[in-house]
Amino acid sequence: MQIKATEQALLDWTGDLLAVGITEGETKLTGDLATLDEKLAGTIADLIAEDEFEGKSGTTVVGRVGGKNTVRKIALIGLGKAEDLTINSWRNAAAEIARLAKKEKTLGISLPLGSASAPDVAQAMTEAIILALHEDNRFKSEPESKKPKLETVELIGLAGQDEAISRGSTIADGVILARELVNAPANEVTPVTMAQTAQQLATDYGLEIKILEAADCAQFEQGMGAYLGVGQASEIPPKFIHLIYKPQGTAKRKVAIVGKSLTFDSGGLNLKPSGSGIETMKMDMGGGAATLGAAKAIAQLKPDTEVHFICAATENMISGKAMHPGDILKAANGKTIEVNNTDAEGRLTLADALIYAETLEVDAIVDLATLTGACIVALGNDIAGLWSTDDALTAEMKAAAESAGEKFWQLPMEEKYFEGLKSQIADMKNTGPRAGGSITAALFLKQFIKDTPWMHLDVAGPVWAESSGGINNKGATGFPVRTLVNWVSN
């Protein structure tokens, strides 16, 4: 499929489906739209009247065009009130239009820009079209059966925005990598194959790469006992992945992105019971998948920031070698952890990964993890939790998320709650009371950061969609690749 900006005017466009955006309350046809309606023998006015179309956000009407017109179908897309438009309005409208056009060969889209930036709109629409049409059929016997027919999409009124379209396509490519990593079952994506994916990214895009084996991790600082403790029951060896992007010139900034990378989480000896979602625990590497997806996009976009992508990949399994509830593990900084729940394993792997990241002397560290069910209880499936020790970093990430159309909500770093993590026999426990579980998880991670500005993103809800909507289909969403790319780029 080719997406391109066209110089062709709305009135001159020819093809299978022409989609036109209309803001709420602006259904009285004027200007080019009135002329187009006259050219199409009143089809647009008829659609508005028959379907009582008002231009409300998310509403669509589609009709066939009669006679010998050069357009076969016309679609009207509601954008909502003009004063409420955000960049996500164009993104969601483009996604809906793409789904309407799956069975067509050519699609023209004309959405009013208003005061919006043309490059921002072109990029957002490109991302949306590609992601809305993405279907992961790799594991079906007839993978081509649902392939969209759409060959060409022309963005009318956005001539000259080829660079923005290219950027949107590159970012969408990174999102799709993250989606496909999360969607793949745990017998396909393992610590070993995840490391192979990182190695392929390094080869394809000129990244530096280090893969630390278990023996290397044991020798790092005081030993990555927390990370290695989680993976010790698995037959598959852990792989500590460190990808590095460096700009051609002098880097203006140096940051680290650390993604939780549990390729499967059984819960360990605190086994997840049937009905707890254990069958979906292939998605517990959603943070690592987004980290690699962001690496793929960033390596192609070439910002002037040096980025270190870290994935402490392993499985949390059961065997005679499994860590026990009550075991004490020692992280690489010497701090000791009483494991009172083997199913709170992600924070153990992140502890050593954060210590490693800080030794790189970066300007900021961001970790992202499918860490707690408590965060889903608090914020639902569409919003990720955000905690940070640095106000400037928080402001940067919120701005990046807003332009990406991905939702975060900042929660408090309530230091008093760390009392619930104190252990009588170790420096801390790995879980605290049920109340405030996502906050205590963030406080646990904070113990493994010294001075570097740091942010924790709990993405447990948004990395997976149970139903189609917006740019997502059911399954992995690729959240929050777009936010991470925006943050690094800006």
Active-site residues, by number, are 272, 347
State how beta strands 305-316 and 383-388 pair: unpaired
Alpha carbon 76 to its chain's center: 29
Residue 66 contacts by C-beta under 8 Å, 6 or more apart in sequence? 41, 43
Closest CA to 91 of 176, 178, 172, 4: 172
Contact 243, 208 (CB under 8 A): yes
119: left (phi over 0), alpha (psi -120 to 50) or beta: alpha
Task: Give yes or no for a contact between 125 and 133, defined as CB atoms under 8 angstroms apart.
Answer: no
For residue 244, the tally of other CB atoms under 10 A from its CB is: 17
- Residues 6+ away with beta carbon under 8 Å from 293: 174, 175, 176, 177, 178, 179, 181, 478, 481
Q: How far is Cα 316 from Cα 243, in angstroms, rounded to an integer? A: 23
Q: What is the DSSP letter of 469?
A: B
Radius of gyration of the chain (CA): 24
DSSP 415-428: GGGGGGG--SSSSE
Helices of type H across 265-390? 286-301, 346-359, 373-379
Which neighbouring-strand residues pair with 264?
Answer: 315
DSSP lists the bridge partners of residue 193 as none
Dihedral of CA atoms 61, 67, 71, 74 in degrees, nearest 10, equals -10
Among residues 455, 416, 225, the alpha carbon closest in space to that of 335 is found at: 225
The answer to whether 398 touches 405, Cβ cutoff 8 Å, is no
User: Which uninterrupted H or E stretch holds 235?
Assistant: none
Helix 391-404 vs helix 481-489: crossing angle, to nearest 10: 120
Question: Which two three-digit tokens encode residue 484?
Answer: 């991470």
The whole-angstrom separation of Cα 174 and Cα 398 is 20
